[in-house]
Amino acid sequence: MSGPGPLSGLRVLEVGHILAGPYATMLLADLGAQVTKVEPPGGDLSRQVSDAYFASLNRGKRSVRLDLAAPEGQERLHELVRGADALLVNLKPSAVHRYGLTYEALKHWNERLVCVALTGWGMDAGDQPAFDYVIQAAVGIAALTGEPEGPPQLPGYSSADNSAGLAAALGLLAQVVSGRGGQVDVSLRDVMLSQLNYHAAAWLNDGATPRRLGGAHAYYVPAQLFPTADGHLALFITHDAFWRVFATEAGIDGYTTMAERAAHREEVVAAVTEALATDTAAGWEARLRPLHVPAAAVRSLPEALTEASDTIVEAGGHRLVGSPFRIAGYGPVYGAPPRLGEHGDAV
C-alpha cells in the first residue's frame, strides 16, 4: 500500500556537492518532498566519481543547472525561491554569502523560506577545510578509535557527513513545522561533538579523559569485538541479566555485577576471549541469539546486504539501499537520479 508521502507538497532546493547536503535532501525526497538540485555548470562533483555514487545520494531529485555567479543564474534562483519551502546549502561559508544563499539575502523573494547552511565549522568560523575525516580527527573521534597502543583510526565510511546530513534534514523540518522562515546553521563539528555525548560529559563533569580501548565500550564490559575459532564476534553485555545468561552458556564464573566487571575489565575480557575461542563466530551467534544475548558475527558488507535484501531498491537502473524510514501506508517511489540540467538550464 502506498499513499502520498508524508512530505508530499514540500518543495526543497539543494545547492551543494558530494555527500552531506545531497544525503540530507535525498532522505527528504524519499519521504515525498520535491527536491531540486541547483547545480553549477559542471554539475555536482559527485557526478565525477561514478554513476552509482551519484545515484546513491541523488535518486528521485530534479536538476536545474545554474551559474550562480551570473545575473541570469541569480534571477532564475530567485524564481525558484519564490516557489520553495526550504533551501539547503552545503558549501563553505564564503560561497554561501557570495551566492546570496542565506535567509537575509533571499527573504525579499520569500519570507517563509527556510534556509539551512550545512558547513564544516559553522557559518561564523571561516573557510577552513572541513572534509569528513578532517572533522573526525579534529573533534576527538580518531583519537578514540583503534587499539590502545596503536595509532588513531577512522571508520571505513563517511560517518561525519552522513550524521550531519541527518541533522540538517531534522533542522530543516523543525523550522518548516514552526511555520516561520529563517536561517538554520548546522556544522559537521557540532554534530559530531554532540554524538560524543557521554564521552564529553565524562570529561566536562568529572575530568575523565576518554581512552582508546580498541573499539570496546567505555562503560559496559564486555562490549567489544572478540576473536573466535573462526571470525570475530561482537558481544554487547549492557546489564547483569545479559551477563548471567552469557556466562552460563560460556562457562564463566563470577563478575556478576556491572561494577565488578568494569573494575576487572582485563580479567573479564581475558575470560571471555578464552571461552569464545571454543567455537566460531557464526556458532556463537546461533547459540546466543535464542538466549536474547546481544551478539553478532562480523559480516562483510556484501554478506550483510545479501541477508538484508529487503532494504535494496532500484532507482533508474541502479540497485541502492532504500530509505531507512518505514512508514505505515507509504512506500517510496524511487525515481532515477537526474541528468545534469534535466529540468532547466540557465548557464
Question: pLDDT tens across 13-36, in order?
Answer: 999 999 999 999 999 999 999 999
Same domain for 321 and 292?
no
Instruction: Note the pLDDT of residue 2.
Output: 65
Q: Are 20 and 131 in contact (CB under 8 A)?
A: no
Contacts of 2 (CB under 8 A, 6+ apart): 329, 330, 331, 332, 333
**Domain ranges, residue 269:** 223-227+232-297
Same domain for 245 and 145?
no
Same domain for 172 and 248?
no
- CA atoms of 295 and 236, how far apart (whole Å): 6
Question: Looking at the predicted structure, is the pLDDT value of residue 310 above 90?
Answer: yes
- CA atoms of 243 and 58, how far apart (whole Å): 44
129 pLDDT band, cuts 50/70/90, is confident
Same domain for 291 and 341?
no
Question: Looking at the predicted structure, is the pLDDT value of residue 3 above 90?
Answer: no
What digits encode the pLDDT tens for the residues 39-84? Answer: 999 999 999 999 999 999 999 999 999 999 999 999 999 999 999 9
Same domain for 24 and 101?
yes
CA nearest neighbour of 210 among 263, 201, 221, 193: 201
> Measuring CA to CA, how many Å separate 209 from each of 143, 152, 205, 206, 310?
11, 15, 11, 9, 42
Q: What is the pTM of this model?
A: 0.94
Instruction: Note the pLDDT of residue 4.
Output: 87
* Position 170 in a domain: yes
Same domain for 142 and 241?
no
Same domain for 270 and 125?
no
Same domain for 265 and 188?
no
- Environment class of 23 (CB within 10 Å of its CB; exposed 0-12, middle 13-18, buried 19+): buried
Question: Looking at the predicted structure, is the pLDDT value of residue 1 above 70?
Answer: no
Q: How much helix, strand and coil, in percent to the nearest 5, is found in the chain? A: 40, 15, 40
Same domain for 191 and 245?
no
Same domain for 52 and 109?
yes
| Total domains in the fold of the chain | 2
Looking at residue 330, its amino acid is Y
In 132-203, DSSP assigns E strands to 182-187
Same domain for 281 and 336?
no
What residues does 232 pair with on adjacent strands?
227
Task: Kindly state the DSSP code that residue 297 receives in the 8-state scheme.
Answer: E
Average pLDDT for the chain = 96
**210 SS3 class:** coil
345 carries an active-site annotation? no
Question: Looking at the predicted structure, is the pLDDT value of residue 174 above 70?
Answer: yes
For the segment 145-166, the average pLDDT, to the nearest whole number, is: 95
What residues does 236 pair with on adjacent strands?
223
Instruction: Note the pLDDT of residue 234.
Output: 98
Question: Looking at the predicted structure, is the pLDDT value of residue 109 above 80?
Answer: yes
Q: How many of the other CB atoms lie within 10 Å of CB of 154? A: 16
Instruction: Note the pLDDT of residue 201.
Output: 97
- Environment class of 225 (CB within 10 Å of its CB; exposed 0-12, middle 13-18, buried 19+): middle
Instruction: Note the pLDDT of residue 346.
Output: 74
Question: Looking at the predicted structure, is the pLDDT value of residue 291 above 70?
Answer: yes
What digits encode the pLDDT tens for the residues 221-275? Answer: 999 999 999 999 999 999 999 999 999 999 999 999 999 999 999 999 999 999 9
* Position 208 in a domain: no
- Marked catalytic residue, from 30, 85, 132, 161: 161
| pLDDT > 70: percent of the chain | 99
